[in-house]
Amino acid sequence: MKLSDRQQRMYDFIRDFFQENQYPPTIREIGEAVDISSTSVVNYNLNKLVEAGLIERNKEVSRGIRLSETPGFSLGGLFSRSVPILGHIAAGQPITVFPDERDSADTLDLASDVVGRAQEVYALRVQGDSMIDALVDSG
């Protein structure tokens, strides 16, 4: 499906906005960016982007736009973050993690909205099942 110039500008704005802010723009922000004053016209064009498979929408929430993973476009670099796995921790008693335990190749890719804007983030492998009720399982 070929996009109109307006739809391409909207898509480019959404992609760039998300890359810069780590969250999607509102309908009004999209309209302002592409000089559309009517939110219904923005909605119409967003629906065309959904039909083209470029975005997904949740109309029940503000900022409910997500870029789809499409052939030739990877979300990996823009919307996920590789977090180092530093070691192991017991689900019952904590185990001290030492920096030399880290295997530099051992990472976990997480969505940016899970990690947020925190700079120093790491993951630990859980051993045991004493936290299973909190949905923390071994591994």
DSSP 4-61: PHHHHHHHHHHHHHHHHHSSPPPHHHHHHHTT---HHHHHHHHHHHHHTTSEEE-TTS
What's the token pair of residue 5?
């110039």
The sign one gets for the Cα dihedral 94, 95, 100, 105 is negative
Is 63 in contact with 30 (CB distance < 8 Å)?
no
Higher pLDDT, residue 63 or 28: 28
Task: Go through the domains of the chain in sequence order and give each one's CATH number.
Answer: 5-67 (1.10.10.10), 77-134 (no CATH)
pLDDT category of residue 43 using cuts at 50, 70 and 90: very high
When pLDDT is averaged across residues 66-80 and rounded to a whole number, the result is 53
- CA dist list (Å): 119 to 38, 106, 116: 38, 18, 9
Query: What's the half-sphere exposure (Cβ side, CA atoms, 13 Å) at 13?
Result: 22
CA distance 27 to 132: 40
Least confident of 29-33, 96-100, 105-109, 113-117: 96-100
Residues 6+ apart with CB under 8 A from 125: 85, 87, 88, 89, 139
State residue 79 phi and psi, 5-degree precision: -120, 10
**pTM for the structure as a whole:** 0.52
Our measurement of the distance from residue 134's CA atom to the centroid of its chain's CA atoms, rounded to an integer in Å, reads 23
